Amino acid sequence: MEELIKYLPLLIPYAAIELGLLAAALIHIFTHKTYRKGNRALWVILSFVQIIGPVLYFAIGRNDE
Amino acid sequence: MSAYLAFTKKELIESVRTYKLLVLLGVFLLLGMMSPLFAKFMPEILKSVDFGGMELTAPEPTAMDSWTQFFKNVGQIGLLALVIASAGIMANELSKGTLVNILTKGMKRHTVILSKLTVAALIWAASYMLCLAAAYGYTAYFWDMGELRHRFLAFFSPWLLGLFLIQLLILGGTLFKTFIGSLMLTGGVVVAMSLLNIIPKLQRYNPISLCGDNTALMTGVKDVSDFLPAAIICALLVVMLTAASVVAFDRKQM
């Protein structure tokens, strides 16, 4: 555990980008009403899947309008 | 040439507006940081988890463990993310019919394919380099890196494999005009190559092995001759697939 705290400054950027991707997906999901595939509930759940979740949403779920 | 530049510029703008560039850069930066962190903290994590009195100890991690993680992450989650994010590369426009206008106004069809390949290759290169830089920085901070043999070939190989997958997606999209069609063709080829990789004699010719045992190349366990044939075959396949996509697109009714 001490090791983890010692290296915290190195872990923060990782967490920040991880959360950034999640936030980007969630913001897009909640500011858009229609999706190319699926519905809001599905995408909200899926966007929590690490790394692949947001990729899937922006590739398949995101609608242009 | 000016049509090529204009269309390439349009593709770049599109990749920004569809969040593709942002997502891929983010994902690969994440993977780059994840690999050394995971290698570094694995023994700690094992120690902190209670296995019911059973003691699990892992050997002290080294820089090579970090690189093993790196190639594993890039080869699995990384390429999966790249394929999902790029699967609509042809299909999105073909199904919406947005290309009809510019093609009837005289833009050559091969320009479309070449522009799309150029931009996808550039985005993939930028994402992968960011990933590599992050992994390199963290690894150098945690460990003494030592000598990395044949590092150019070891680090270049996964990019080449990714380029091959992108070109497969372009061909799939051209042939089937759908997102799923692109994915199916690429997935099918990856499965076939993975099955072929069971045969040890074929491994050095199989593009899929370009993102696998790269650490063995850097430690000197494997030699350039174990990787170069696969890299050359992969590069040739990219050229052939590009030509096939151009021919297929030329014959396609819009």
CA separation for the pair B30, A19 (Å, rounded): 11
Task: Tally C-beta pairs within 8 A across A and B.
Answer: 65
User: Chain A residues with CB-CB distance to B under 8 A?
Assistant: 1, 3-4, 7, 10-11, 13-14, 17-18, 20-21, 24, 28, 51-52, 54-56, 58-60, 62
B236 touches chain A (CB under 8 A): no
Domain encompassing residue A31: 2-61
Q: Do B23 and A51 touch (CB under 8 A)?
A: no
| Angle of helix B224-251 versus helix B109-142 axis, rounded to 10 | 150
Q: How many domains does chain A have?
A: 1
CA separation for the pair B254, B15 (Å, rounded): 23
| Angle of helix B2-17 versus helix B109-142 axis, rounded to 10 | 50
φ/ψ (deg, to 5) at B51:
-95, 35
Q: What is the ipTM of this complex?
A: 0.92
Using pLDDT thresholds of 50, 70 and 90, give the confidence band for residue A6: confident
CA separation for the pair B203, B187 (Å, rounded): 19
Residue B61 has which token pair?
């991690």
pLDDT of res. B83: 97
- A64 pLDDT higher than 80: no
CA separation for the pair A26, A57 (Å, rounded): 9
**pLDDT higher for A27 or A63?**
A27
* 8 A C-beta contact, residue B204 and residue B227: yes
Using pLDDT thresholds of 50, 70 and 90, give the confidence band for residue A8: confident
Contacts of B31 in chain A (CB under 8 A): 51
pLDDT of res. B56: 67
pLDDT of res. B252: 86
Integer-rounded Cα Rg, in Å, for chain B is: 20
How far, in Å, are A64, B43, B46, B245 from residue B93 at the CA level?
12, 48, 48, 15
- A22 pLDDT higher than 90: yes
Residue B148 has which token pair?
């990395």
Contacts of B81 in chain A (CB under 8 A): 51-52, 55
Residue A51 has which token pair?
């790394």
B27 touches chain A (CB under 8 A): yes
Taking phi over 0 as left and psi of -120 to 50 as alpha, with beta for the rest, B146 belongs to left
Give the gap in angstroms from C-alpha B1 to the nearest C-alpha of chain A: 30
Beta bridge partners of B51: B54
CB neighbours of B171 closer than 8 A, spacing ≥ 6? B185, B241, B244, B245, B248
* 8 A C-beta contact, residue B121 and residue B166: yes
Residue A47 has which token pair?
């966007």
pLDDT of res. B194: 94
CA separation for the pair A1, A47 (Å, rounded): 29
Give 10-residue mean pLDDT values along chain B (254 residues): 92 94 96 93 77 72 92 95 94 88 90 96 97 95 87 94 97 93 96 93 91 89 90 97 96 82
pLDDT of res. A3: 66
pLDDT of res. B12: 95
CA geometry: angle at B216 spanning B215 and B220, to 5°? 115
Give the gap in angstroms from C-alpha A61 to the nearest C-alpha of chain B: 11
Neighbour tally for B121: CB within 10 Å = 16
At residue B60, the 3 state secondary structure works out as coil
Q: Which amino acid is at B237?
A: L
Q: Do B30 and A18 touch (CB under 8 A)?
A: yes
pLDDT of res. A29: 95
